[in-house]
Amino acid sequence: MKTLHEYEKILPQIARKAVLEEFTGEVLINKQELYSTYPELKEKRATFVTIETKEGELRGCIGTLTPHRPLLEDVIHNAKAAAFNDYRFSPMNLEEMEDVTFEVSILSIPEQVNYYDEEDLKDKIIPFEHGIVLDYNGYRATFLPQVWEKLPDFDQFFAHLCLKAGLSSNCLELHPDIYRYTVTDIKE
């Protein structure tokens, strides 16, 4: 397992504070102090913030696939979006805060996978290591590498990813564009 840098270790707490700020109206994140202490937070990075119940049920997950803002800003934005704007769930309420955990995933730049057929694709994807972006004619979806834990079978993983994109479960037959990425995963 990769050793986390100090600035990475604090990201889940920043995500939690970002959501708490929405409930309290108070400023709980001192951006200037954080940037001064951890200049790495200024680097443009793409992240996903996942919120789960203590029982391991998904409560919200929102992120960005390509870096376009500082790491700190991306975590704050995605934490609030995961808590309040994930269309699969009603917005969180304050009472839920003590019953959820925050997880931040820092993404590598997605790289396109050139493949001939499903078997070739299987050879180029490493389950539990690669996150996947599926893109076909404006239909797009991604699964973080952590999703392999719930869908460890390649066919099942891609069937669910196809459905998430709004396509049929056998959409690999359409030869969609596939991108893979890795993450640094930090849990509370």
Domain 6-107 has CATH 3.30.700.20: yes
* Domain(s) of CATH 3.30.1490.150: residues in the chain: 111-185
Smallest CA-to-CA distance from 8 within 104, 76, 146 is with 104
Kindly report the three-state secondary structure assignment for every residue of the chain: CCCCCHHHHCHHHHHHHHHHHHHHCCCCCCHHHHHHHCHHHHCECEEEEEEEECCCCEEEEEECCCCCCEHHHHHHHHHHHHHHCCCCCCCCCHHHHHHEEEEEEEECCCEEECCCCHHHHHHHCCCCCCEEEEEECCEEEEECHHHHHCCCCHHHHHHHHHHHCCCCCCHHHHCCEEEEECEEEEEC
Per-residue pLDDT tens digits for 78-96 = 999 999 999 999 999 999 9
- For residue range 127-153, list pLDDT tens digits in order: 999 999 999 999 999 999 999 999 999
Where in the chain is CATH 3.30.700.20? 6-107
pLDDT by residue (tens digit) across 16-50? 999 999 999 999 999 999 999 999 999 999 999 99
Per CATH, the homologous superfamily of domain 111-185 is Hypothetical protein ph0010; domain 2 (3.30.1490.150)
User: Position 82: which residue type?
Assistant: A
Q: What is d(CA 6, CA 148) in angstroms, rounded to the nearest whole number?
A: 27
